[in-house]
Amino acid sequence: MATLHDIGVAAAINILSAFAFLVAFAVLRLQPFNDRVYFPKWYLKGIRSNPTRSGTLGKFVNLDYKSYLRFLEWMPDALKMPEPELIDHAGLDSAVFLRIYLLGLKIFVPITFLAFAVLVPVNWTNDTLESESSKSSKLEYSNVDKLSISNIPQSSNKFWAHLMMAYIFTFWTCYVLLKEYEIIASMRLHFLASEKRRPDQFTVLVRNVPPDPDESIGELVEHFFLVNHPDHYLTHQAVYDANKLAKMVEKKKNMENWLDFYQLKYERNSSKRPICKTGFLGLCGKKVDAIDYYTSEIERLCKEEIEERDRIRKDSKLIMPVAFVSFRTRWGAAVCAQTQQTRNPTIWLTEWSPEPRDVYWQNLAIPFVHLTVRRLTIAVALFFLIFFFMIPIAFVQSLANIEGIEKVVPFLKPLIEQSFIKSFIQGFLPGIALKIFLILLPTILMLMSKFEGFVALSILERSAATKYYLFLLVNVFLGSIVAGTAFQQLNTFIHQSVTEFPKIIGIAIPMKATFFITYVMVDGWAGVAGEILRLKPLIIYHLKNFFLVKTEKDREEAMDPGSIEFASSEPQIQLYFLLGLVYAVVTPFLLPFILVFFGLAYLVFRHQIINVYNQEYESAAAFWPAVHVRIVTALVISQVILFGLLGTKKAANSTPFLIALPILTIWFHLFCTSRYEPAFKKYPLQEAMMKDTLERTKESNLDLKGYLLDAYIHPVFKEVEDHDDVYPVGDIENENILVPTKRSSRRNTPVPSKYNGSSPPSLADVKEQLL
């Protein structure tokens, strides 16, 4: 059981670690040879260039001593850029992501002041834990627990203070959430109305195109939309299964990197030709001339690419029943994306297309009928992953304390019992142990989301974030409380009667606050400070710069600006919201640690977004409804836990008044969903028409078809020559004519086609119209 002294030692360790990371970053960022590591965004925008320094040493080390006196100036610099400029610079996704940290500060700063002004004195001025400990010497507690609700005697009227604060905290949180939802919905609509022209504004993704024995997928799509959207359809882009070709292109790039490496090595020492092994990872196999070997391998891959492109062009089976359909106006695209196309709701499914950068091309090749099975499989797999992962977490929690370690390694007991070592283990080890266990989890969950078949990177990240949040909720929060309580209080449970169990649990659950305090310091203090140091990208950049870089283009490719890892970052933030809301009434002592996290994280990530991160896509803050619902979920969980705690305390007078809180909170969520969520799900036709009208006025001669022609071509076809011949697009002229069809059904027949639900004109009709 961690004491105030143990927490103080852990705080000192984490503060020193965070300070060391920040100082190291402040010094490293001043060095000219690190400029591309800590300011890559400005290089990608073409605004920044390599620092010019005189002398050989000056090219690598900053010799201006005055700059070191201002080494912390990055902090105020990170706060100077106003939000509208930040949106223009980094996008709405980045700006709204930062607002999550500001939201945490808006919610918890007033709550912390109120909790320390009201609840801490109420909790401290009791001796319940001391009296309970005298009756049962095996019951553990610390001074931190005396600041919690556990120190209030049963049936006390002081519980009214906790009830009143629960209502105040709930109303304040809901008020802040309501205002934030309103602001961000308005920001999203303004962003969509003011942003520059993008292909996804005119394009709809069509899935589950029904097969037709008489027409190809391209002809079928073209014909269907000319019939059903005659005034707005412009062109379309069929989707090919090019996953095999994509692997070839990626393999060739890897080979080219190795060839560059060995050529550069040979240039530096021309007396000896470089040698490599052809076996697994270059560790075994026949020794050959490296330059000749990789040159021949690249030539072989080029030939295989040509063969694969020819196969894609000839094999109709590689054309997927999916298409990107573009319209003449945003209004036409909005109507198509937000309506049902046929009587049969399972075919010709339309949705807004992701922007080209956001498309996850590999999953477009997955048949639509397989998606339900895949998602059911992942749901079952996620359940078992969460369930079985609780076992190692419980085991680690049992070992991450003095008693557990002494049982496993009793010969270390004299060392462990020393004051500083004991404080280090109890105040630092539990948090770092849990942090290590969670390192690989986001990668696993992202792979699971990819298997589900989502076709946009933004949706993939939101899906992985949902899974990660469920994992943190069940395993890290509930699992740590249940497992920790069970292991720590096992002897007490055994020697007490069954009727005493609820009382012991009610006292023991708040005691896990000390574990979460250590976790917040490790992950939220030192972890966030370590993010700004960018140690891994720093090392990789210099390795690439030394071994692979020959030109300025190579140097730009060696930069790794990274992006906001929403799939892992946002659920971690939600864990802090959950901890803050749950323990605000139960153990307010945890709240200052939460505040430090939100303040430090806001500063660090604002700097990273301005100078480092380069977002892969822009979803216009489409993730905000998920953020909102998770905070509301945390609020309801905090209310239910408080209800259970007061029940164990026999607070019969005050406990029934808590029943209204979850009901009011759920009603508040339903109101916000109905009022603001449509702005994130649908695009208003009024907004689309206004934007179209304004564009026609400003650019009356715009060649929209030329602009959209190759927007949704698979990236691997842009890597090769003559991709237009390989990846044909719709070639309908601007005149409004219908495509001749090989089927005999007529346009005005009351019986639709059995294949796609449309009623296309016959070939004779079309010829008659054209004549």
Pairing of strands 349-352, 319-327: unpaired
pLDDT of residue 574: 95
CA angle, 92 then 94 then 97, to 5°: 105
206 occurs within a structural domain = no
Nearest to 313 by CA among 263, 242, 243, 392: 242
Q: How far is CA 740 from the centre of its chain?
A: 46
The model's pTM: 0.84
Question: How far apart, in whole angstroms, are the C-alpha atoms of residue 123 and residue 151?
Answer: 6
Question: How far apart, in whole angstroms, are the C-alpha atoms of residue 504 and residue 128?
Answer: 12
Pairing of strands 275-277, 287-289: antiparallel
pLDDT of residue 408: 63
233 occurs within a structural domain = no
pLDDT of residue 57: 62
- Residue 538 CA: distances (Å) to CA of 57, 293, 542: 20, 31, 6
Structural domains counted in the chain = 1
Range of the domain at 54: 4-194+372-676
Pairing of strands 275-277, 349-352: unpaired
The residues, any chain, with a CB within 8 Å of residue 706's CB and separated by 6 or more, are none
Encoded tokens for 471: 């994992």
DSSP one-letter code for 401: S
Q: Which contacts of 373-381 are long-range, i.e. CB under 8 A and separated by 24 or more positions?
A: 374/451, 374/452, 374/453, 375/452, 375/453, 377/451, 378/448, 378/449, 378/451, 378/452, 381/448
Question: How far apart, in whole angstroms, are the C-alpha atoms of residue 64 and residue 70?
Answer: 11
Question: How far apart, in whole angstroms, are the C-alpha atoms of residue 262 and residue 523?
Answer: 41
487 occurs within a structural domain = yes
Residue with tokens 């049969």: 344
333 occurs within a structural domain = no
CA-only gyration radius of the chain, Å? 31
Question: How far apart, in whole angstroms, are the C-alpha atoms of residue 33 and residue 59?
Answer: 7
663 occurs within a structural domain = yes
Buried b (16+ CB within 10 A) or exposed e, 317-356: ebbbbbbbbbbbbbbbbbbbbbeebbeeeebbbbebbbbb
The residues, any chain, with a CB within 8 Å of residue 314's CB and separated by 6 or more, are none
pLDDT digits (tens, 9 = 90+) for 418-471: 766 766 666 566 667 777 778 888 999 999 999 999 999 999 999 999 999 999
Question: How far apart, in whole angstroms, are the C-alpha atoms of residue 540 and residue 558?
Answer: 8
13 occurs within a structural domain = yes
CA angle, 593 then 599 then 603, to 5°: 145
366 occurs within a structural domain = no
Q: How many CB atoms lie within 10 A of CB 554?
A: 15
Query: Which burial class, exposed, middle or buried, applies to 29 when counting CB atoms under 10 A from its CB (0-12, 13-18, 19+)?
Result: buried
254 occurs within a structural domain = no
pLDDT of residue 544: 81
Segments of the chain scoring below 70 in pLDDT: 1-5, 52-60, 128-143, 281-282, 395-409, 412, 416-417, 419-420, 422-431, 482-509, 511, 550-554, 652, 719-771
Residues composing the chain:
771
Residue with tokens 């085991």: 395
Q: How many CB atoms lie within 10 A of CB 148?
A: 28
